[in-house]
């Protein structure tokens, strides 16, 4: 019998991917919070930081699309989210 230990298996890969997801979420929402704070508290325009968030989301979307893991449900949720975000942004602009 072989006494070799397994260092990298499917569970390890799943945990790593989950950690990358959490890291991305913390980074993205932290950056959004920083942009919102700077905009409301200091009146700064932070389009470069917002573009960074959008580019990172675009990169993951293109990668998933290329590897054919995007489903119809995913597209529907993404489109709905974009529409709701646009409506909220329009409401903020009109009220501000």
Decide if 37 contacts 30 (C-beta within 8 A): no
Domain membership of residue 93 (yes or no) is no
Decide if 46 contacts 35 (C-beta within 8 A): yes
Domain membership of residue 83 (yes or no) is no
Domain membership of residue 78 (yes or no) is no
- DSSP states of 25-59: HHHHHHHHHHHHHIIIII----HHHHHHHHHHHHH
pLDDT value, residue 68: 86
pLDDT value, residue 33: 92
Average pLDDT by consecutive 10-residue portion of the chain (96 residues)?
Answer: 71 85 90 90 87 87 86 91 94 91
pLDDT value, residue 69: 84
Domain membership of residue 84 (yes or no) is no
Counted domains in the chain: 1
Domain that holds residue 59: 10-70
pLDDT value, residue 57: 84
∠ at Cα 46 (84, 54), nearest 5°? 50
Q: How many CA atoms lie within 13 A of 10 on its CB side?
A: 0
Domain membership of residue 57 (yes or no) is yes
């Amino acid at each position: 019998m072989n006494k070799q230990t397994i260092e990298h298996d499917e569970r390890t890969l799943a945990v790593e991917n989950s950690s990358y997801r959490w890291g991305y979420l913390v980074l993205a929402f932290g950056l959004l919070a920083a942009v919102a704070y700077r905009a409301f508290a200091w009146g700064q325009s932070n389009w470069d930081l917002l573009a960074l968030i959008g580019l990172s989301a675009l990169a993951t979307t293109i990668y998933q699309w290329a590897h054919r893991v995007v489903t119809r449900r995913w597209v529907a949720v993404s489109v709905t989210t974009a529409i709701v975000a646009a409506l909220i942004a329009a409401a903020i602009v009109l009220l501000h």
